């Protein structure tokens, strides 16, 4: 049967639904010739305590009801396909699993709620342009011996107060809160493949970013204090989220619906062979993810799975945002349905993703949720690689310089980033590095960044592209990049540790490198205290002055005016915005990427330099080398 001819099921009760009186199991598998449920007393090893045949219902669903309270048992499903019984697995909709995600668990989710969970609320957020993102791997926060955090590598690390580094400076939660960011973006925290991190060997060194999904609706067990009990990881993740919320921090989940960690042996493929994936004309799995497969979001039940999954995380775990890995693999319609479903739950849930693929896909380009189609996406943002590479050079050419490190000709790409990739009359799109047209409707749809977990950290990159530069000059370049990210109209994004010149020792792809490479080195907070302070002040500047986060494209076009800079490697613009209670009604921003001081002719007015608020006499100002100068009238 053609996959498009498979019957679909519109209910939202697939998987296991528990009550104290009975548990109902439903599996969607239209091509199955038979299906059965295996019950186990634990999450690994041993034979089934019971095997039950599932009954075929309508719309490709197989089901059974177990009377009584069977809470605490584990289960798998197994289908017969083309005369063969396939390997058993959890069902795709599993909400709890045992160690390494091999078996699902029958659970009362209410028992996983920490004290006060019913009263947990999202921190306030007025508009998406107020968002400030902080990208962090769960383990990296606490893995350094001088983190001062007891729950090394665990969700519970986010619940510890008063932690300090060797010199007594705040680390962990207290540090993040002091920075002033609004959202903590967690790298994949769902259950990922045991081949990446084996939850039965947590006493041995292991690390992985986690971009190889196994069970999408379950937290990762290695981040819990007991991966053998399916309830523990759920409760501890909720404790982390509740603590972050109570400290004014929203939580973003990095989701990877575009591919699975395994292909033939994935949960999807064991339950409905082939259906959840795209195929090439010869029947082989297509691979736009460069990970062995890509999911078929345009198929009804895959689309429904993605939508139901994000709704589940938003409701059950109070997640405040979602970052979509390789969002370009998904189709536009699916992403818009995701947005609509989350908007109905809470209109302040923020969605963004990578607007590209990692390889060719059978899905037509016109249907892909790629960066160029962001204007077709409802309330969804995309990463601006235009801005990123204009700042520091192409991520594919490690020695190439960018605006901050001495490369000329990047001015229009930088201006494009400053306005948030919107249509602006003063941007020459023919000179923008990658995009020859605006791709956002609103500025918040562009994520402004200079580094993320992928590729080199900015600090390592500046050493590669400017090996002859002194550390002092590279810090100036670094500060200039930070200044440009935080004063642009897009949503600013930094990788955790960027505020202390994070290094990975030159590693470009540290997805499975050891803790020594990936962890946040809290001693650098002491060594580079000036950059920590600089980052805090930039974040406070953005939060204090609404002109840096205008919110709509119309406001940006009306209130942001680029001024002529007679020197190359200089960009200047004026923000004329009266926010009522902000005394800064006219702001002038000048970025100087040159390695020497440059003069800039000021527009008429009584201008003062913000740092120290000193008055400028005359019509010119000297802008120091490799720096940002902000003036107010």
Active site residues: 325, 354
CA–CA dist 559, 13 (Å, integer): 50
CA–CA dist 112, 236 (Å, integer): 8
CA–CA dist 298, 42 (Å, integer): 37
CA–CA dist 480, 475 (Å, integer): 8
DSSP structural state of residue 224:
S
Q: Identify whether the C-beta of residue 419 lies closer than 8 Å to the C-beta of residue 427.
A: yes
CA–CA dist 212, 210 (Å, integer): 5
Residue 454: which H helix or E strand, with range?
Answer: none
Q: In terms of Cα–Cα distance, which of 488, 473, 498 is closest to 594?
A: 473
CA angle 128–412–564, rounded 5-degree value: 105
E strands of 180-287, at which residues? 183-186, 190-192, 213-219, 250-255
Q: Identify whether the C-beta of residue 198 lies closer than 8 Å to the C-beta of residue 205.
A: no
CA–CA dist 632, 582 (Å, integer): 12
CA–CA dist 587, 550 (Å, integer): 13
CA–CA dist 593, 567 (Å, integer): 10
Per-residue H/E/C for 581-629 = CCCCCEEEEEEECCCCCEEEECCCCCCEECCCCEECCCCEEEECCCEEE
CA angle 330–333–338, rounded 5-degree value: 80
CA angle 167–496–438, rounded 5-degree value: 150
Q: In terms of Cα–Cα distance, which of 227, 284, 297, 225 is closest to 255?
A: 297
> Which tokens belong to 280?
């090439």
Q: In terms of Cα–Cα distance, which of 88, 61, 63 is closest to 74?
A: 88
First to last CA, the chain: 70
Buried b (16+ CB within 10 A) or exposed e, 439-456: bbbbbbbbbbbbbbbebb
Q: In terms of Cα–Cα distance, which of 498, 511, 412 is closest to 455?
A: 511
Residue 302: which H helix or E strand, with range?
Answer: helix 300-316
DSSP structural state of residue 54:
P
**Helix axes of 300-316 and 332-345: crossing angle, nearest 10 degrees:** 30
> Which tokens belong to 15?
């998987």
H-state helical runs in 358-510? 385-392, 411-418, 458-465, 471-486
């Amino acid at each position: 049967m053609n996959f498009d001819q498979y019957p679909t099921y519109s209910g939202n009760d697939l998987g296991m639904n528990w009550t104290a009186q009975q548990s109902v199991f439903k599996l969607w598998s239209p091509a199955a010739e038979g299906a059965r449920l295996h019950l186990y007393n634990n999450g690994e090893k041993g034979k089934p305590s019971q095997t039950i045949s599932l009954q075929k219902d309508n719309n490709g669903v197989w089901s059974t009801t177990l009377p009584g309270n069977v809470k605490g048992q584990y289960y798998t499903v197994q289908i017969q396909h083309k005369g063969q019984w396939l390997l058993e697995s959890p069902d795709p909709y599993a909400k709890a699993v045992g160690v390494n995600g091999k078996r699902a668990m029958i659970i009362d989710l209410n028992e996983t709620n920490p004290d006060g969970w019913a009263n947990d609320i999202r921190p306030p957020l007025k508009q998406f342009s107020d968002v400030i993102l902080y990208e962090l791997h769960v383990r990296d926060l606490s893995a350094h011996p001088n983190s001062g955090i007891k729950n090394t590598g665990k969700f519970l690390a986010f619940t510890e107060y008063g932690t300090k580094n060797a010199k007594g400076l705040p680390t962990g939660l207290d540090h993040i809160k002091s920075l002033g960011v609004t959202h903590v973006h967690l790298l994949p925290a769902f259950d990922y493949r045991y081949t990446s991190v084996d939850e039965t060997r947590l006493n041995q060194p292991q690390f992985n970013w986690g971009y190889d999904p196994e069970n999408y609706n379950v937290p990762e067990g290695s981040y819990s204090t007991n991966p053998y009990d399916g309830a523990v990881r759920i409760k501890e993740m909720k404790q982390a989220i509740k603590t972050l919320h109570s400290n004014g921090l929203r939580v973003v989940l990095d989701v990877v619906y575009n591919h699975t960690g395994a292909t033939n042996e994935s949960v999807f493929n064991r339950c409905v062979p082939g259906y959840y994936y795209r195929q090439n004309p010869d029947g082989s799995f297509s691979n736009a993810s460069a990970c062995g497969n890509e999911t078929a979001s345009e198929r009804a039940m895959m689309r429904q799975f993605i939508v139901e999954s994000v709704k589940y995380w938003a409701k059950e775990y109070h997640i405040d945002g979602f970052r979509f890995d390789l969002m370009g693999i998904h189709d536009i319609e699916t992403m818009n349905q995701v947005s609509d479903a989350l908007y109905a739950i809470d209109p302040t849930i923020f969605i963004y993703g990578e607007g590209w693929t990692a390889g060719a896909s059978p899905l037509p380009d016109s249907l892909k949720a790629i960066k160029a189609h962001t204007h077709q996406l409802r309330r969804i943002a995309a990463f601006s690689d235009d801005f990123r590479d204009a700042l520091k050079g192409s991520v594919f050419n490690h020695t190439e310089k960018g605006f901050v490190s001495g490369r000329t000709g990047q001015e229009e790409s930088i201006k494009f980033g400053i306005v948030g990739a919107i249509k602006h009359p003063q941007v020459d799109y023919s000179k923008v590095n990658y995009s020859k047209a605006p791709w956002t409707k609103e500025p918040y749809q562009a994520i402004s960044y200079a580094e993320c977990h992928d590729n080199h950290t900015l600090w390592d990159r500046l050493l590669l592209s400017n090996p002859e530069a002194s550390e002092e000059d590279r810090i100036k370049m670094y500060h200039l990049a930070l200044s440009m990210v935080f004063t642009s109209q897009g949503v600013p994004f930094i990788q955790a540790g960027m505020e202390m010149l994070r290094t990975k020792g030159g590693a470009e792809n540290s997805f499975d490198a050891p803790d020594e490479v990936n962890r946040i080195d809290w001693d650098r907070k002491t060594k580079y205290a000036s950059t920590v302070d600089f980052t805090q002040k930039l974040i406070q500047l953005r939060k204090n002055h609404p002109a840096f986060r205008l919110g709509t494209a119309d406001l940006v076009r009306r209130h942001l005016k680029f001024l002529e800079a007679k020197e190359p490697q200089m960009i200047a613009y004026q923000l004329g915005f009266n926010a009522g209670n902000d005394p800064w009604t006219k702001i002038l921003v000048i970025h100087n990427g040159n390695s020497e001081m440059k003069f800039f002719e000021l527009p008429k007015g009584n201008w003062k330099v913000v740092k120290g608020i000193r008055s400028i006499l005359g019509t010119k100002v000297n802008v120091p080398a490799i720096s940002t100068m902000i003036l107010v009238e």
